[in-house]
Amino acid sequence: MGETTFLANILYSIAYGIASAVATALMQLPIITIFDKEKPNIKNILRKIKWRIIFVFSSFVGLFVFIMMFFFNFAFVSSDCGKCKASCFLEQNGSVVMEAEHYTYQLPGSGNAVGITWRETTEFSGYTGDSALQALLNTNVNTELETSGPALLYVIKFQTPGRYYVYVRGLALTGDDDSIHVGLAGNVATTTNGIGLSFRLPTFSWQNESGGNLTTINVPVPGVYTFYVWMREDGTTIDKIWLSTNTNNISNDNTSPGPKESPCKFLGK
């Protein structure tokens, strides 16, 4: 969240509210002047509009609240999502990049994954942003082809429709701690591949494949969608997500940090 932008928006809202209240008061003048049988001097006009102070004040409060809601919903665009978790990532030019730890919501696991949650960790070196997320406790649970693992939800505003290649930066402690499922808007992209999107190195690296296939999601029309990451095997650790319309962005096993996180806007939750 950009604090400078936040402060500027508050000051702008206050100034706008005061200006609106003054304008509302001034709008009373022609009415008073036309219907006033007394001489319309400043003293009489000020006396006549005195009872309208409550109305003007309530207008100010109402406008202030309205404008603050407006800015919370539409104008809090930050170049860095930071700790702003109730946020909506903005896709630009066929690409959106999200730190895993900046998820919008998390849903608990069910079935054999009951009680497992995604937890922030800085235990493994090489993460980007604030941390990575690990599905814990790690007691050898595998949801196989079910999406019953704890889920991370990322709300994304897509401007560019089309097929997106899913790249996730994560690490594998062992072969039993190395896979996730992903999907968009309830459509799972990986379960039909017989296995989830899997990590192959004990250090953070980018991976796109699930069961030897490219992992893709489809955005049919521009709009706001929710991207899902489900734990498949507990102990799996993820750091960053990159959705791109370009299949040649980065190769599997690449350990670079990748591009910086996309901008987001605050949803006011």
Please answer whether residues 86 and 166 qualify as being in contact, where contact means their C-beta atoms are separated by less than 8 angstroms.
no
- CB of 26 or CB of 153, closer to Ca ion: 153
Which residue, among 110, 134, 149, has the nearest Cα to 236 in the 3D structure? 134
- CB of 78 or CB of 128, closer to Ca ion: 128
Q: Measured from the CB of residue 210, what is the shortest distance to Ca ion in angstroms?
A: 11
Q: Measured from the CB of residue 169, what is the shortest distance to Ca ion in angstroms?
A: 8
Q: Measured from the CB of residue 106, what is the shortest distance to Ca ion in angstroms?
A: 15
Q: Measured from the CB of residue 70, what is the shortest distance to Ca ion in angstroms?
A: 31
- CB of 91 or CB of 234, closer to Ca ion: 234
Residues in CB range of 171: below 8 A, 6 or more apart:
124, 132, 178, 199, 201, 202, 203, 204, 205, 237, 239
**Is the bond preceding residue 137 a cis peptide, omega within 30 degrees?**
yes
Sign of CA dihedral 202, 208, 209, 215: positive
- CB of 60 or CB of 103, closer to Ca ion: 103
- What are the residues binding Ca ion (CB under 5 A)? 99, 127-129, 138, 175-179, 233-235, 239
